[in-house]
Chains A and B, each alone.
Chain A
């Protein structure tokens, strides 16, 4: 939303103060994309709606989306790292992934 020219056009910043960006379309495994002016490597294919860290996020810090916390980092997450159930923990109901 802030229209930073330093980001890949496929990512979206939803609100000021967010420490994650959201994918608007798929990014393929192995791509190097621009995020906050830095080139980051994306090791896995990630679909629309997935989140990447917009800064280095230390373990325990809140993950901010829409300007509000959506949980906390369960591990250190580097800039460009995929933020999802493996490293983002709810402060409410535990998520159970059932395949």
Chain B
């Protein structure tokens, strides 16, 4: 396969983007971050952060994983000054990763105006510096790709998700790391999934992760089934789950990851996004973007997003490749879509061809191409409270 060019990082990973993050460490610093980023292109400088003022191990782990993501080249941290975020600890993690990092504390520098000026000055200098670093070749085996589906309808499970599954099989065969989720959307197919484990020790963990999700959503009062799904012809969570499950492809499942954990080697991984213990902070992920950010926290260079009814979102940090499963939706919203998987329904093409097109477009992201959502300036970011995940050494052999 064709070679990609990427920015090398100290930990050995490589980035297909070289983004400067402006990160608020409490919501009170969010506006200052937006002002700092305003003069710069969306692709160069992006705003992320943790809104809460109360301490959060999960928020701390996620911010550390995101600020040292391979697609990130430098980080401007912005603190109000009195929040409970361990900013020095985060800055140390970023510095140790070899990235330029700076902390602005709004209360110390004299308020909004001076903070915005300091941030913009630092970014101007730093961005020029990181863009001057030479790129190196990157193999497909070094890619980490996530997949999610959102705004699903019955076509998602017929065209888009199986095509994403074909793409995953091709990538895993090349040695890449592929991550699917979301256990709350796999309720009803846990036993089918458990039959695919690479290591028998993983079987009970797979079933337990889906069982945990079913109990968690039950406690929330709802499953992950919305009215839009029913309008599109889906009738039950099992039906939606089997359709969602198709995007994992046919490869053996190598392990289970938790948010902010990276895979130890190439292969197919299940991302378990549901926290352990009793439900504490509400829904595990409040929307598609929170899920996308968790895939990115596991090192995903790009995310395949399969949609039937038509999602428009992208994400900060990593490109989101939109695969449209429904040909009618594609006709209506083609400017937001990267791949028209719905043409499978007309008999115009096969799942294999669409899967190959997805892989080709992912690789092109490492060769200077951009996604529709990047071109449209989509840099959504959602990160809320969650119980931090314990390390589970038994769950990913190697």
Residues of A within 8 A of B (CB): 12, 14, 22-25, 46-51, 63, 65-66, 68-71, 83-85, 88-93, 95-99
The complex places the Cα of A59 from the Cα of B238 at a distance, in Å, of 18
Cβ-defined partner of B238 (8 Å) among A23, A48, A70, A85:
A70
Is B155 on the interface with A (CB-CB < 8 A)?
yes
Count of inter-chain pairs, beta carbons less than 8 A: 97
Residue ID in chain B nearest A72 by CB atoms: B236
Is B170 on the interface with A (CB-CB < 8 A)?
no
Q: Is the interface of A mostly helix, strand, loop or mixed?
A: loop
Known: A49-B153, A68-B192, A92-B238. A98 touches B233 (CB 8 A): no
B233 touches A84 (CB 8 A): yes
Closest CB pairs A-B (n = 9):
A49-B154, A93-B223, A49-B233, A70-B239, A90-B236, A50-B233, A71-B236, A88-B235, A70-B238
In the complex, per-residue mask of B228-241: 1 if CB is within 8 Å of any chain A CB, else 0: 00101111111100
Known: A14-B158, A22-B158, A92-B187. A83 touches B225 (CB 8 A): no
B235 touches A70 (CB 8 A): yes
In the complex, per-residue mask of B199-240: 1 if CB is within 8 Å of any chain A CB, else 0: 000000000000000100110001101010010111111110
Which range contains the number of B residues in contact with the other chain?
20 to 34
B326 touches A69 (CB 8 A): no
Cβ-defined partner of B236 (8 Å) among A14, A47, A92:
A92
**Which residues of B lie under 8 Å from residue A70 when comparing CB positions?**
188, 235-236, 238-239, 242
**Which residues of A lie under 8 Å from residue B310 when comparing CB positions?**
none
B225 touches A95 (CB 8 A): yes
**Which residues of B lie under 8 Å from residue A66 when comparing CB positions?**
157, 242-243, 246
The complex places the Cα of A70 from the Cα of B155 at a distance, in Å, of 16
The complex places the Cα of A86 from the Cα of B293 at a distance, in Å, of 36
* Closest-CB distance, B331 to chain A (whole angstroms): 12
Residue ID in chain B nearest A93 by CB atoms: B223
Is B108 on the interface with A (CB-CB < 8 A)?
no
Q: A49-B158, A95-B236 are in contact. List 12 more A-B contacts (CB 8 A).
A: A48-B154, A48-B233, A48-B326, A65-B239, A70-B242, A85-B230, A89-B236, A90-B235, A91-B188, A93-B217, A93-B223, A96-B222
A12 touches B158 (CB 8 A): yes
Within 8 A of A (CB), among B144-160: 153-155, 157-158
* Closest-CB distance, B209 to chain A (whole angstroms): 15
Known: A91-B188, A97-B230. A22 touches B236 (CB 8 A): no
Cβ-defined partner of A48 (8 Å) among B189, B235, B246, B328:
B328
* Closest-CB distance, A51 to chain B (whole angstroms): 6
The complex places the Cα of A92 from the Cα of B187 at a distance, in Å, of 8
The complex places the Cα of A59 from the Cα of B245 at a distance, in Å, of 27
The complex places the Cα of A24 from the Cα of B153 at a distance, in Å, of 12
